[in-house]
Chain A
Amino acid sequence: MPVTIEKVPGHEEKVILSMGPQHPATHGVLRLVLELDGETIERALYDIGYLHTGFEKSFESKTYSQGITLTDRMDYLAPLSNNLGFCLAVEKLLDLEVPPRGQWIRVLLTELTRIQSHLVWLGTHAIDIGAMSVFLYCFREREDVLKIFELVSGQRMMTSYFRVGGLALEPPLGWLTRVEKFVKKFPERIEEYETLLTKNPIWLRRTVGVGRISAADAVALSLSGPSLRASGVMWDVRKSQPYSSYDKFDFDVPTRPEGDTYARYLVRVAEMRQSLKIVRQAMDGMPDGPYKANAPHIVLPERESMKTSIEALIYHFKIVTEGFHPPLGEVYQTIESPRGELGFYMVSDGSPKPFRCHVRAPSFANLQSLSKMIEGRLIADAVACIGSIDIVLGEIDR
């Protein structure tokens, strides 16, 4: 039996509406079950699992290096953030430090990921509410970012570019000029989106005061990321527990006190500006040196050295056929993904495959706040709220 709401005696006049899983405003395959009084939502339940593919089970039968390819497919709008979280967790388990150049490139690319993920969010959120043109503008710029990813890793979306101990390969010559071109033109593009929306009376009517959630409720319901910061809680993993040298970058964490859909919109738009600031700093201060750690038993050797060095060849063979052995132990590594706190709980039993790899997906936790936001409001507000918490079903169902 799928999720349903039973009719309660005395409530026979209520309508039970199943919204989704094929509804265009549910951003994938989310199904909502709504109890309606007229057009007002009395109660709301969600039904998920349509995209469940058992990633956590699959991790257990793959070596640590093979596991990276699975992480791309969870949050498919921010694959590099997932790669980073997974690699950092394994590196923490191994107590392995990535050289500065590797860390800087990682920061630069994950911030570009945040920008492109927010662009998809902005475009789809606006189209849900009826502002068609924003979608086209957003996807124009998103394409530029995806082209940078393609240049660097060979893939637009399923990048798998970060590896345990560093990066898969050195980025090609001249890639920074492409980044620079994007950084130069993007600020005026953000202005463009804002002229379309920020003071648009229709947009304001649809978002101001809609789906309000208080700071206390948001914390109790494990909301995280921009949605939490829009409720006035100042918490960003990049600041509170910096990883990958984020403490060496200068940026602000935008917050808003209102906690409504409009505040979540403002916070994300402000975040895009801050991400751009970080990208610029990473580009200007890019250190020289190796892009991956000097740990021959963990990190694959350069292709060239395998032709001349027998040790490199042996290490390569060992890593590819068997993998590496982390020490016994367990770690929980969190990063700030575009959607919130992305955590990897990694348990090692000393073998080359993880004993358990659990993913704390931000969308999965954030979705719990939806009922609180939409109960007592209209169906049209539910559409605005789903958009405003920015869910990715691939990550929720895993």
Chain B
Amino acid sequence: MPADLQSNLAWQKLREFAPESIEDAQFFRGELTLRVRPESLRRVCEFLRDAPGLAFKYLSDVTALDHYPNEPRFETVYHLYSIETNQRLRLKVRVPGENPRVDSVVPVWPGANAFEREVFDLFGIIFEGHPFLRRLLLPEDWEGHPLRKDYPTEGYR
């Protein structure tokens, strides 16, 4: 395990709080990525937001990755930032390709609203508990989700 991971406060505190919720931790170019179990996502997010000394009160970004044809097919990615401690953290959650669903983090950070709608629109991942989960960038009657890897980039519709 790399030394900079051991000294990371978010990693230390989260391991004390809920060790079973973390599947994997990686360090690349000075950025910490934690892979969180889907069922504990909201609990982990609330902890990271409220824990003193962490205070990840700012949600920078929510997006997703499509690993088609591998399973679990999707990953949702959350970029958190703490204005107080000037730390960044990336969370990832694995989402299956069949009926992709994951808990919404809008109750934790209201700012996730538009980001999750965008992911729903372009990847077709359903965020449970989202207050207004509708297409955002594409028309309501659009078929398919363009950022999926099996969505064609050329040819006729």
Give residues in A with beta carbon < 8 Å to B: 1-3, 48-49, 52, 54, 56-57, 61, 92-93, 95, 219-223, 233, 235, 240-241, 329-332, 334, 341, 343, 345, 347, 355-356, 358, 360, 364-365, 367-368, 397-398
CA distance A3 to B136 in the complex (A): 9
Interchain CB contact under 8 A, B110 and A360: no
* Contacting residue for B60 out of A220, A331, A334, A397, CB 8 A: A334
Total of A-B residue pairs, C-beta within 8 Å:
96
Taking CB atoms, residues of chain B closer than 8 Å to A347 are: 65
Most chain A Cβ neighbours within 10 Å, of B77, B111, B134:
B111
Chain B residues within an 8 Å CB radius of A219: 57-58, 83
Whether A52 pairs with B28 at a CB distance below 8 angstroms is no
Cα A61 to Cα B28 with chains together (Å) = 25
Q: Taking CB as reference atom, which chain A residue is nearest B149?
A: A60
19 extra A-B contacts, CB within 8 A, seeds A57-B151, A241-B88: A2-B139, A48-B137, A52-B138, A57-B146, A57-B147, A219-B57, A240-B83, A240-B86, A241-B86, A330-B33, A331-B29, A331-B31, A332-B61, A332-B88, A345-B61, A345-B79, A347-B65, A358-B77, A397-B137
- A221, A240, A358, most chain B CB atoms within 10 A: A358
Q: Which residues of A contact B135 (CB under 8 A)?
A: 49
**Within residues 131 to 153 of chain B, which ones have a CB less than 8 A from any CB in chain A?**
134-141, 146-147, 151, 153
Q: Is the CB of A365 within 8 A of B79?
A: no
20 contacts between A and B (CB under 8 A): A48-B137, A49-B138, A56-B147, A219-B58, A219-B83, A220-B57, A220-B110, A222-B115, A223-B111, A235-B83, A240-B86, A241-B88, A329-B29, A330-B90, A332-B79, A332-B90, A355-B65, A356-B63, A360-B61, A365-B115
CB atoms of B29 and A358 under 8 A apart:
no
| Contacting pair A220 B77 (CB below 8 A) | no
B139 CB, min distance to chain A CBs, angstroms: 8
Contacts of B134 in A (CB 8 A): 3
Q: Are A356 and B137 in contact (CB under 8 A)?
A: no
For the complex formed, measure the closest distance between the CB of B138 and the CB atoms of chain A, giving whole angstroms.
6
Q: Whole-angstrom distance from the CB of B133 to the nearest CB of chain A?
A: 13
- Cα distance A223–B147 when bound, in Å? 26
Q: How far is the CA of A192 from the CA of B138 in the complex (A)?
A: 43
Query: Which single member of B83, B110, B146 contacts A221 (CB below 8 Å)?
Result: B110
Which residues on the A side are within 8 Å of B77 (C-beta)?
345, 358
Q: Which residues of B, 26-46, contact A by the 8 Å Cβ criterion?
A: 28-29, 31, 33
